[in-house]
Structure 1
């Protein structure tokens, strides 16, 4: 009998096993959630559809992922499917996954072309998954502009919960569900309400999570939402999670200790970007709490690109800056087909020289030149590739300093 009481006592300390689930009618396949769309479309439209679910085209990081995708689509469609891999050249290290987590260097299943001495059968930037013979379950590249395929979207699994907004192990509760829908609050009052509901003001740890929050507010007509960050010499999330993702637009006047997400485009900030603002006054806000056992939730750290990249090719997102010694530089920026590049200069002082942005658009070369001092210099590309030239007219007396951040956006963002 004593052993039974001990067992019952121990059981009270064992956390309940959380039910892992998928939202939005996605199907759990391995450790991710997938959804097949059988209407053939362009790679660009497929990627945009996935973004509406705060996801991306399916990624395949190992043999198990490849096999599970075959099992998932094999009985549902005879059409080949787009996958979330984009190749900038024939080097697999430059074939990047749409989720921003690595390249095809670790694993790929391209159809081989031994006669040409490389693993690609032909070469185009966009990659699709072959359904049916020949080459069933293998990957081929295709012309992004003209071909149409079915596609599979991917979102992360989460824990079963009755909250309406459930993403990647967390529940999100907008302020209108907690207080009067016409009311907004100051930082301390908003955080107190979140804590009373077992959460904190929102922290954001990936581009897809940022898009998830933005998607919710898309049709509500609000200008901004308060984030759960404290701004001092450094940035801190109020829920004590890692600061491993940032979407701050440093071109605005950085006065204040609060952080907001812009929900609309305006003259000073772009939709979805974050900006520093005073904490005075009232704000719309959103709370975030764990959906299930928080010990099971893991937020991966994101490896950030180094700040100086003179005469290099930069892919997807990152930072580049003025050279540390006198020289002219060219920075080549590329992103996925169907996306554009947004550049924000966090610091811009260019004397005895200039910066020129060059891109090819509809068969013509488009150039824009910038110099002097500019606190709010931003640029959005017309295509998915451009060059930034830094030209110093007097190398012996170079007196320029700039720091720029760039990231990939869809045309409507």
Structure 2
């Protein structure tokens, strides 16, 4: 029986305004943590974390590492962390279970680790002079405690009986429902009691709005229903006429009906709306989803920016029952673009990219033969949509050679050249010099302020093409918001084909400044940038 001293490190438990954790987890340095005291293997601990709605903990900086080590001292035992290292003595090969990068940016391995001779999984010591240091271990040959992590959940301004309610501006029914679903998979509000009806009617303080949209619909058979699929167990209809429309709005004024009553309305009318979602939905602050389905059981969607992963990433996707995977990737402006930061396909797999949902001809195909030339190459759709179909080998089973077959892609868009402007650009995307791939102009001074919108996140910038006048026209990369911050690099010349032009910030911003002199111009540069843990 393990001895447990129960105490809390109160100085490490920080409550951020607007954030909380689901039941059983504690907010520590903006991470929601749970200590699993039961001794178990790494795979068993990972399963238990998954069942609790999270992953084994990931660590991206020394502050979090110290906080996690101290949090875990309530059980005097080493703890599993969510890291797997397939390559010996190579921290960059160590991939986090939450699919958010590797351990090259930060790690706390003891000397000679990671070591495949010992094992590919990783644990942290929580006691003694080596508290917080990381060691390799056999994934199934060692049973210890573990620390699980989930994302913080939002607290909300308007909440009732475990649900959050939030107002939207004037939108049509379909646009309002789409906007609601983008916020933690919410929906136009459903109403199930007189108390909830009164509560919703008070959200908009400005009575001049007149009417607000709710999530009720009238079918062709004159049957009322809620868009979110909940039971129609309460009604407050004041006037119903299918001829006026098959949607419903709630009156805020004493006009056609008294305030609080519902009336039929045109679905395309632009009305203020109210959304509703469970209060403890794990929405966090990330603007774009990470798509890493354990299997291909349906269609995955991503909007504007985000990382897309092969099934079961960071482990191999190979399976005897894997069906094709479908990803619908869209951007709100311009054309959709995608690039792959890593790709290793089996001999029978392929990735097909289409520019619309109904076209039968892909504009690009990636397979085992072509994959060696596509890393960081940009694939651009002719529309604002990319339909990606991944067809793995369905008869290969697990990789007997130990090879990990997987891929990772980034959805982004082209950003304009920002000469004489300090406009901030949020990830992910592509920046280029003026006129690229044609020659740039003389006398340029073009700043690009790149920002990761997620607190604690970083930016990684990779040049896919580079040719300027050597010694005269420069691209300078600063680690921060402006040119007063530390200079990471100053590059110039013909660097076409150089695969080492990758730079990573220590904070949320990278400042890129491109300058040219009065003579000799070349094609300039193209670079991709993206969120980095």
Q: What TM-score do the two structures reach when normalised by structure 2?
A: 0.37
Compare the two structures and name the one with the higher helix fraction: 1
Q: What TM-score do the two structures reach when normalised by structure 1?
A: 0.47
The structure with higher relative contact order (CA 8 Å, sep 6+) is: 1
Structure with larger Rg: 2
